[in-house]
Amino acid sequence: MSSPTNKFESLILKLSSTEIAKRILKIDLREQFRPGETDETSIGRNLNAAFLIAISGKENPQYDEALSYINDNKSHTMWGGGAEFYLNGLSFIPTELEQAASDDASFGKTLEVISPDMLDTSEMVAIERLREIFFPEGHGVCDMWDSKVTELRDRRMVTITKLNPEPIQEPAKELLFTSNILITTPLEPENIDAIDLPSSLRESLKEAVSEDQSFWYDHPIPVGISPESNEALYGLRGLDDAVGFEKERGNIGRDERLACVLSVSVTHEKLQDIAREYLKEELMKGPALKHLDVHVFTEADTSRLIDQILLPATKKYGIKADAGEVREIVGVDGEYGRHYTFLKAVSAFWHVLVEPRVKGTFKIDLDQIFPQEVLVSQSGASALEHLKSPLWGAEGTDSRGVNVELGMIAGSLVNEKDISKSLFYPDVCKPTHEIRADLSVFISGLPQALSTEAEMMTRYGGEIDGKNECIQRVHVTGGTNGILVDSLRRHRPFTPVFIGRAEDQAYLMSVMFAKPEGNLRYVHKDGLIMRHDKEAFAGEAMRAASLGKLIGDYTRVLWFSYYARALPWPVADTKALLDPFTGCFISHIPFTVVFLRMALKAASFFAAGSDEKTEEGVKFLRMGARRLGRVISYLNADTNPLVEEYEKERRVWNAYYDTLDRLEEGLKNAEPFAISIREKARALAADCSVSLS
């Protein structure tokens, strides 16, 4: 009997044959290996092609030449890292395939029936067979779309046993709105002196430009960009307008202001020093925010929170907390997961030490706005009226009979270009573009569209009445979601600091099955929809970030696959809940999937024929080898390193919430120490204010 590795190699050998590759992948892989071409661009293309030849096994007549080519370029100035990356892939893939077949009998059987002949069929049938192996969450979805939507909606059904008896009544007083701002250096660093900022900020900006970049984000705001192109100003003014609408509707008192906490993540450390003042300067250039109290937290501010408030309190109350671990976990710089958790956790801090009326938090992204008039006309309620739903905080049982607590809430998005069709037009639709190259083996947009229709587009009032039944959400977006402070403090969810994609969905994973008496879940609120203006507003930034985003999608497979196995409950249970969309990033064979996807995607760039696409292919390979190589090296250990990481982050957040519990008790008893900590917390909040009347 052939081993899983032999089966895999025979499949790739057949897939890379000229006739099959052109028909299924829409590219000729064999034509791309031209070792006689020795310019640096050609070496990158050849390395990628050599890898695809090498993973097809020794039966490929070019195997020895391809393997030698990769080895010969290990010391190449430009491509040595890429060669090492692909050599690691050749080592890791067989090990992973054999282990996966051994660990999971069902997946082992899938590998056993692999046959090259399965590709001697029509294009779509062959692609479906490939998905059975590399992307089972997408298998059969296209052919059974309507039934899959119904099936998923049935799986997400929750039977309500108890509505929240004390739902949010006054959202402007009881909710803390949050968002994140991403800041980077100017687009033209040589022209800093021409930027309309005070000289002290320009001097600090010059220091930041001279630093090495620490972090990378999708579309950060370049300091000095025009106010009309500044995403932070756009989103804040959109929120300000939305609150003004609520006042006109009589939902908020004329003099009330909505509290808003912003975290600031920067690409260069020195930018921390100017972030708040920069934002304040920009806000002064346009109409004042009439209805918001804005507080901006930088990494320096979260360090103050730790050193002046959290650590002294843990010491006072004898709560075990390692200062180094706390500083590593609690903050706003770094990968997306770090600021995401802070923007949830800060609401508990706010409730205990700043404003006791705060009962929950709601996060938005600043490239989104509430289209209030459309919300009222098509959903029957304004944004804040939607947030008063007794479903938020309800209790129930899911379709498997598991007790759930709907302490989190999730809305949906509509793209700016689609809102004229309907407020309820899905922001991600079933893919209709040609399937080629890497999309033949993995196309996350397929289950994403399915999940969007089944979860996000559900409307209550028919078979699902929104009173006795509702939908729980697994697929959520980074903005348009919230959590009640009481649920936050009892369940203590978090997104690990290593998560740089889908931080909103990873947040749920940390507590999915932690409390059998009532596991924390998101409730779907129909009609709570924000207009997503990213394409209209940040199209250039999105295009510039497209390669980085694509590689981030690959790292997501790696992190989610290993994180799911690090959680203290069976990975099968995690997959059963998260499939199809979030779960598709939890793979039996994450290394294999990522190496194959990357190589096929790079091949598609080189096959396009244009200089622009070839240049993109070179950038993609170099960036991917560097970023993915670091993650793979970290995860390729004898034991899963994320087990220890999860336990460490759980310790830190337990200490955080235990400390707030003790401080709250101390304040009730008028304890002098607790009162002094509250004074420091309120002083910190005041220092972070950038509100302009």
DSSP of 378-402 = HHSS-HHHHTT-TTTT-EEEETTS-
Alpha carbon distances (Å) from 538 to 221, 231, 418: 10, 8, 16
Give the phi and the psi of residue 299 in degrees, each rounded to 5. Answer: -60, -35
Give me the residues of the chain with pLDDT under 50, please. none
CB 257 within 8 A of CB 173: no
Cα separations in angstroms, 174 against 244, 253, 657? 17, 14, 20
Question: What pLDDT sits at residue 544?
Answer: 62
Residue 225: the pLDDT is 87
Q: Where are the beta strands (DSSP E) in 352-441?
A: 360-363, 368-369, 395-398, 403-415
Count CB neighbours of 685 within 10 A: 22
3-state secondary structure of 526: strand
Residue 577 has what pLDDT? Answer: 96
Q: Can you tell me which residue has the tokens 């937290």?
A: 297
- What does the block give as tokens for 81? 């890292």
Residue 375 one-letter amino acid: L
* pLDDT for res 290: 93
Q: Which two tokens stand for residue 295?
A: 């507080």
Give the helix, strand, coil percentages of the chain, each rounded to 5.
55, 10, 35
Distance of CA 53 to the CA centre of its chain: 33
* Whole-angstrom distance, CA of residue 89 vs CA of residue 8: 14
H/E element holding 520?
strand 519-532
The 10 Å CB-count burial string (b at 16+, else e) for 271-286 is bbbbbbbbbeebbeee
Spatial CB neighbours of 630, under 8 Å, sequence gap ≥ 6: none
Burial 595-622 (b: 16+ CB within 10 A, else e): bbbbbbbbbbbbbeeeeeebebbbebbb
Cα first-last separation, the chain: 76
Q: Distances from the Cα of 278 to the Cαs of 197, 272, 337, 632, in angstroms?
A: 8, 10, 24, 38
Domain ranges (residues) in the chain: 4-137, 140-169+389-522+537-646, 172-363+671-687
Instruction: Give exposure, 657-683, as e/b (b: 16+ Cβ within 10 Å).
Output: bbbbebbbebbeeeeeebeebbebbee
Secondary structure (3-state) at 580: coil
Query: Do 161 and 468 form a contact (C-beta atoms < 8 A)?
Result: no
Predicted pLDDT of residue 212: 84
Strands 481-484 and 360-363: antiparallel
